[in-house]
């Protein structure tokens, strides 16, 4: 698939980096373990591939984007768009991205106070870079995307000459008309108004808001860009708290149906480094990959792999204990060696 928004993955050996979430020092440590010099060069000519979600929650999203932007400009790295970059490009306030906005909605609530705030110049630079990122990378032996390799969604977007922002808004407007005309939006709004305060309170008891959940599923599953950057979703059995609010939808494990022969690497899903412990503060309190071990290939062909090991919660771990020990990891999967390397220097063969 060669097109406008799906790019050719680098030839040769690559190191595929999981979600970074503003952890610039942790990224520098990992690059050191991988053998890269401070300029991002590798003595054996290896290059870097980032699965997106460079930003939010961690101490310096700006520095992470600037580093990756420079590496991409020098053809030492590639990066795909993650849902957190998409939110920034769209200018949408989300839990953890207050650093990007002049009014910093997070800091007003006393959250993420350790995140460096962006200037107007930095904001524009970040949007300019992120808005031009591809949604997927591929070559004959490997595919990379942020959350979901969905062939139908990729085909819908790949040849579209419009910007990713324009594509997103095109689908969003169509879906809003459906939600309004069907009465779903009015029903969902009424449910959410009844539990307005509770929806952002982790200690509250919130029932499953079916209309709210069905509206979320409509906006998610009807928009191919959202499927690729934040995955497939369905109505949850019970609500759960994640990323600052109670959620009524559950993620669909699309990799369980992935049967293509080409291996695919992705991030997004908060994998656990421990086989038994999912208790990191701020971490979704469930196993995203039940029935598997932490470093296991996924899917019926055992050729899908999530390289996100919950580094988005490292800032909370650091608040509790600045020097660790840490349960989260920033990882890289070396290809074609199939070797997983962590920011703590651990190496695990995945062959």
Domain positions in the chain are 6-162+252-349
Distance (Å, whole) CA 272 – CA 287: 8
Evaluated on CA atoms 252, 257, 259, 263, the torsion sign reads positive
pTM (two decimals): 0.94
Where do we find the tokens 């990992």?
30
**Structure token pair of residue 255:** 């990799």
pLDDT tens string 282-296: 555 567 898 899 999
Tell me what pLDDT residue 243 has: 75
- Nearest CA to 144 out of 276, 332, 330, 294 is that of 332
Dump pLDDT digits (tens) for 64-116: 999 999 999 999 999 999 999 999 999 999 999 999 999 999 999 999 999 99
Query: Does pLDDT of 276 surpass 70?
Result: no
How many residues are given for the chain? 351
The CA–CA distances, whole Å, from 138 to 56, 253, 264 equal 26, 21, 9
Q: Which residue has the higher pLDDT, 231 or 3?
A: 231
221 pLDDT above the threshold of 50: yes
The pLDDT assigned to 159 comes to 86
pLDDT, position 277: 64
Mean pLDDT of the region 251-279: 90
- Residue 2's pLDDT band (cuts 50, 70, 90): very low
Q: Indicate whether 3 pLDDT > 80.
A: no
- pLDDT tier for residue 280 given thresholds of 50, 70 and 90: low
| Backbone torsion region of residue 225, taken as left when φ is above 0, otherwise alpha when ψ lies between -120 and 50, otherwise beta | alpha
pLDDT of residue 256: 97
Span 305-318, pLDDT tens digits: 999 999 999 999 99
Give the architecture (CATH level 2) of 6-162+252-349.
4-Layer Sandwich (3.60)
- Per the CB < 8 A criterion, the answer to whether 138 and 6 are in contact is yes
Q: Where does the pLDDT of residue 301 fall: very low under 50, low under 70, confident under 90, or very high at 90 and above?
A: very high
Q: 3-class SS at 13?
A: coil
Percent over 70 (pLDDT), the chain = 96
Q: What pLDDT shows up at residue 220?
A: 97
Cα separation of 123 and 20, whole Å?
18
Name the strand (E) or helix (H) holding 89: helix 83-90
User: What's the distance, Cα to Cα, between the start and end of the chain in Å?
Assistant: 27
């Amino acid at each position: 698939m060669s097109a406008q928004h799906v790019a050719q993955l680098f030839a040769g050996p690559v190191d595929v980096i999981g979600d970074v979430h503003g952890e610039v020092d942790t990224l520098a440590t990992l690059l050191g373990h991988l053998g890269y010099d401070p300029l991002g060069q590798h003595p054996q000519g290896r290059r870097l591939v980032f699965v997106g979600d460079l930003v939010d929650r961690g101490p310096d999203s700006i520095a992470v984007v600037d580093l990756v932007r420079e590496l991409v400009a020098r053809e030492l790295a590639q990066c795909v768009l993650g849902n957190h970059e998409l939110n920034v490009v769209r200018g949408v306030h989300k839990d953890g991205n207050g650093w990007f906005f002049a009014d910093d909605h997070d800091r007003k609530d006393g959250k993420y106070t350790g995140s460096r705030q962006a200037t107007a110049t930095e904001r524009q630079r970040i949007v300019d870079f992120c808005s031009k990122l591809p949604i997927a990378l591929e070559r004959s032996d490997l595919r990379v995307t942020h959350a979901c390799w969905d062939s139908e969604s990729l085909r819908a977007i790949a040849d579209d000459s419009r910007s990713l922002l324009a594509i997103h808004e095109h689908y969003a407007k169509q879906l809003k008309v459906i939600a309004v005309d069907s009465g779903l939006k009015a029903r969902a709004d009424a449910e959410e108004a009844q539990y307005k305060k509770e929806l952002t309170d982790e200690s509250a008891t919130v029932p499953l808001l079916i209309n709210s959940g069905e509206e979320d599923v409509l906006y998610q599953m009807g928009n191919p860009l959202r499927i690729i950057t934040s995955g497939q979703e369905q109505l949850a059995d019970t609500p759960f708290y994640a990323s600052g609010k109670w959620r009524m939808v559950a993620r669909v494990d699309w990799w369980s149906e992935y049967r293509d022969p080409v291996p695919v690497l992705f991030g997004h899903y908060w994998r656990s480094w421990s086989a038994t412990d999912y208790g990191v503060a701020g971490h979704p309190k469930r196993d995203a990959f039940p029935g598997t071990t932490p470093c296991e290939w996924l899917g019926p062909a055992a050729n899908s792999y999530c390289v996100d090991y919950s580094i988005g919660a490292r800032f909370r771990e650091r608040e509790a204990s600045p020097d660790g020990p840490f349960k989260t990891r920033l990882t890289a999967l070396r290809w074609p060696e199939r070797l997983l390397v962590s920011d703590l220097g651990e190496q695990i063969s995945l062959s």
